[in-house]
Amino acid sequence: MTRKPLISGNWKMNLNHFEAIQTVQKLHYLLPKDIFEQIDVSIHPPFTDIRSVQTLIDSEDLDLRVGAQHCHWEDSGAFTGEVAPVFLEKLNVEYVVVGHSERREIFGETDEMVNKKVAAIQQHGMTPIVCCGETLAEREAGETETKVLGQIEAALAGRSNEQIAVLVVAYEPIWAIGTGQTATADDAQSVCHAIRERVRDLTDDATADALRVQYGGSVKAGNAAELMGQPDIDGALVGGASLDPDEFARLIQFSVG
Ligand code: PEP
């Protein structure tokens, strides 16, 4: 089964909409046009940038995909400061990150909330990128798989095999995010494999083999090739390195070999 890899740039709370336009233009200019036959690339800017990025991508017919970093699960209501999935759908957003460890740790996002968001995002025709990952203490206590597989089971509860087959899981060890420390390719492969096998147990072979599993945590141009060469790693969720178009373009190119 060949899965088209997905590289996603999570800009977090960085780059205003003017900077976003310049960054996207430069990134697209630096990438060979035929690379998009081999790999999908999504950009996840802050909410205030999305309309500008979407307009640029649509008007210049760029091959990049528009993404978001977060959303609520309801279509409307008294949720001050939140953004509904239906608003993102109207902006041609294709991928929405759900349950990033920063949302879980800083803003109290629970497994139950993640599960509701996955359903809402799919209901609006977009693809959730479901994040999971262990803390350093959990890793050292030998609890990595228990934590990660528990998060994935909770996120996917109630989803059909067809719905699970088209979503994306991002395995992001929390101790590796923004720290410059990366899981070894063997360790990252081992957890991504365990995720796929748990999904196989919950669903069937076709679903598990179709699921795209990203690795995230200090992925750079220098380590992308080794990580992306692992059989169960189908792309990367990239924070810091996605803010610099030169570095991100190199990372994407090294990811396809
Ligand atoms: C992330 O934003 O999810 C991430 C993995 O960040 P970084 O690549 O900077 O570690």
The per-residue pLDDT of the chain, averaged, comes to 97
pLDDT over 90 at 257, yes or no: no
Question: Which atom of ligand 1 is the closest one to the Cα of 131?
Answer: 3
Tell me which DSSP letter residue 125 carries: T
What is the separation of C-alpha 73 from the centre of its chain, rounded to a whole number of angstroms?
18
Q: Are 126 and 86 in contact (CB under 8 A)?
A: no
6-255 is a CATH 3.40.50.10260 domain: no
pTM of the full structure: 0.97
pLDDT over 90 at 6, yes or no: yes
pLDDT over 90 at 90, yes or no: yes
pLDDT digit string (tens) for 147-174?
999 999 999 999 999 999 999 999 999 9
10 within ligand 1 shell (Cβ under 6 A): yes
Q: Where do runs of H (alpha helix) occur along 68-204?
A: 85-90, 101-107, 111-123, 136-140, 144-156, 161-165, 185-202
pLDDT digit string (tens) for 16-40?
999 999 999 999 999 999 999 999 9
- pLDDT confidence band for 1 (50 / 70 / 90): low
Share above pLDDT 70 across residues of the chain, in percent, rounded to a whole number: 100
pLDDT digit string (tens) for 43-79?
999 999 999 999 999 999 999 999 999 999 999 999 9
Domain ranges of the chain: 6-255
pLDDT digit string (tens) for 174-203?
999 999 888 899 999 999 999 999 999 999
Q: What pLDDT is attached to residue 2? A: 83
218 within ligand 1 shell (Cβ under 6 A): yes
User: What is d(CA 195, CA 189) in angstroms, rounded to the nearest whole number?
Assistant: 10
H-run or E-run covering 217: none
Hey, which residues are catalytic here? Answer: 100, 172
149 CA distance to ligand 1 centroid (A)? 20
